[in-house]
Chain A
Amino acid sequence: MLFNSIGFLIFLPIVFILYWFVFNKKYQFQNILLLVASFYFYACWDWRFLFLLVFSIGLDFFSGLKIEKSKTGGEAKFWLALSIIINLGFLGFFKYYNFFVESFVDLLSNVGFKANPWLLSIVLPVGISFYTFHGLSYVIDIYKKRITAERNFVDYSVFVSYFPLLVAGPIERATHLLPQIQKKRYFNYELAADGMRQIMWGLFKKMVVADNCAPLVNEIFTHYQTESASNLALGSILFAFQIYGDFSGYSDIALGVSKLFGIELLKNFAFPYFSRDIAEFWRRWHISLSSWFRDYLYIPLGGSKGGLMMKIRNTFIIFLVSGFWHGANWTFIVWGGLNALYFMPLLISNKNRQNLEVVAMGRFIPSLKEIFQILITFSLTCFAWIFFRSESVSQAIDYIRRIFSSTLFSIPHQLPYKVLVLILFMLIIEWVNRTKVHGLEIERFNNWVRRILYIGIIYIILRYANFGNNEFIYFQF
Chain B
Amino acid sequence: MKKFLFKLSFYLVGGILLFGLLGSFADGNIDDNYMHFAVEKPHNIILGDSRGSQAVLPSVLKGKLHLKFDNFALNVVQSPYGPVYFEALKRKIHPDTKNGVFILTVDPWNLSLNNTIKELKNFPEEHSPLKNMYFYDKSPNYEYLLKNYSRSWFKIYTEREELGRSNTFLHKDGWLEVNVIMQKDSLAKRELEKEKFFGEDVAKTQSISKVRLTALEDIIKFLKNKGTVYLVRIPTGEKIMAIENSYAPDFTKKIKAISDKNGVRYFDFSSRSNDYEYTDGNHMYKESGKIFTSRIADSILLDKKN
Instruction: Assess whether B150 is in contact with A466, with CB atoms less than 8 Å apart.
Output: yes
Residues of chain B within 8 A (CB-CB) of A192 are 4
Interface residues of B, dominant DSSP? helix
A189-B3, A192-B4, A458-B15 known; A464 and B147 CB under 8 Å?
Answer: no
Among B8, B146, B152, the residue within 8 A (CB) of A462 is B152
A365 vs chain B, min Cβ distance (A): 33
Instruction: State the CA gap A187–B5 with chains docked (Å).
Output: 12
Please provide the chain B residues from 11 to 58 with a CB less than 8 Å away from any CB of chain A in the complex.
Answer: 11, 14-15, 18-19, 22
B251 vs chain A, min Cβ distance (A): 32
* Interface presence of B154 (CB below 8 A): yes
Residues of chain A within 8 A (CB-CB) of B1 are 20, 187, 189
Per-position binary interface string of chain A over residues 347-379, scored 1 when its CB falls under 8 Å from any chain B CB and 0 otherwise: 000000000000000000000000000000000
Instruction: Assess whether B8 is in contact with A463, with CB atoms less than 8 Å apart.
Output: no
Residues of chain A within 8 A (CB-CB) of B304 are none
> Taking each of B22, B146, B152, B153, which has the highest tally of chain A beta carbons within 10 Å of its own beta carbon?
B152
B22 and chain A: residue at smallest CB distance: A462
A190 and chain B: residue at smallest CB distance: B4
Per-position binary interface string of chain A over residues 436-466, scored 1 when its CB falls under 8 Å from any chain B CB and 0 otherwise: 0000000000000000001000100011111
Residues of A in contact (CB 8 Å), total 17
A196-B8, A462-B154 known; A6 and B18 CB under 8 Å?
Answer: no
* Interface presence of B149 (CB below 8 A): yes
A23 vs chain B, min Cβ distance (A): 14
Please provide the chain A residues from 4 to 47 with a CB less than 8 Å away from any CB of chain B in the complex.
Answer: 6, 20
Interface residues of A, dominant DSSP? helix
Instruction: State the CA gap A463–B15 with chains docked (Å).
Output: 12
Residues of chain B within 8 A (CB-CB) of A467 are 149-153
Please provide the chain B residues from 135 to 158 with a CB less than 8 Å away from any CB of chain A in the complex.
Answer: 146-147, 149-154
A187-B1, A454-B11 known; A462 and B151 CB under 8 Å?
Answer: no
Residues of chain A within 8 A (CB-CB) of B153 are 462, 467
Instruction: State the CA gap A189–B4 with chains docked (Å).
Output: 6
Per-position binary interface string of chain A over residues 187-199, scored 1 when its CB falls under 8 Å from any chain B CB and 0 otherwise: 1010011001000
B147 and chain A: residue at smallest CB distance: A6
Bin chain B's interface residue count. 10 to 19
Instruction: Assess whether A466 is in contact with B151, with CB atoms less than 8 Å apart.
Output: yes
Instruction: State the CA gap A458–B16 with chains docked (Å).
Output: 12
* Interface presence of A112 (CB below 8 A): no
B155 vs chain A, min Cβ distance (A): 9
Instruction: Assess whether A462 is in contact with B147, with CB atoms less than 8 Å apart.
Output: no
Residues of chain A within 8 A (CB-CB) of B152 are 462-465, 467
Residues of chain B within 8 A (CB-CB) of A454 are 11
* Interface presence of A300 (CB below 8 A): no
A20 and chain B: residue at smallest CB distance: B1
* Interface presence of A468 (CB below 8 A): yes
Instruction: State the CA gap A20–B8 with chains docked (Å).
Output: 16
Instruction: State the CA gap A462–B11 with chains docked (Å).
Output: 13
A191 and chain B: residue at smallest CB distance: B4
Instruction: State the CA gap A6–B19 with chains docked (Å).
Output: 13
Residues of chain A within 8 A (CB-CB) of B4 are 187, 189, 192-193
Instruction: State the CA gap A271–B55 with chains docked (Å).
Output: 55
Residues of chain B within 8 A (CB-CB) of A463 are 152, 154
B3 and chain A: residue at smallest CB distance: A189
A-B contact pairs, 18 of them (CB 8 A): A6-B147, A20-B1, A189-B3, A189-B4, A192-B4, A193-B7, A454-B11, A458-B11, A458-B14, A458-B15, A462-B154, A463-B152, A463-B154, A466-B150, A467-B149, A467-B151, A467-B152, A468-B150
A-to-B contact residues, CB < 8 Å: 6, 20, 187, 189, 192-193, 196, 454, 458, 462-469
Given A462-B19, A462-B22, A464-B152: 12 more A-B contacts, CB < 8 Å: A189-B3, A192-B4, A196-B8, A454-B11, A458-B14, A458-B15, A462-B15, A462-B153, A463-B154, A465-B152, A466-B151, A467-B151
**A-B CB proximity, top 5 nearest:** A468-B150, A187-B1, A467-B150, A463-B154, A6-B146
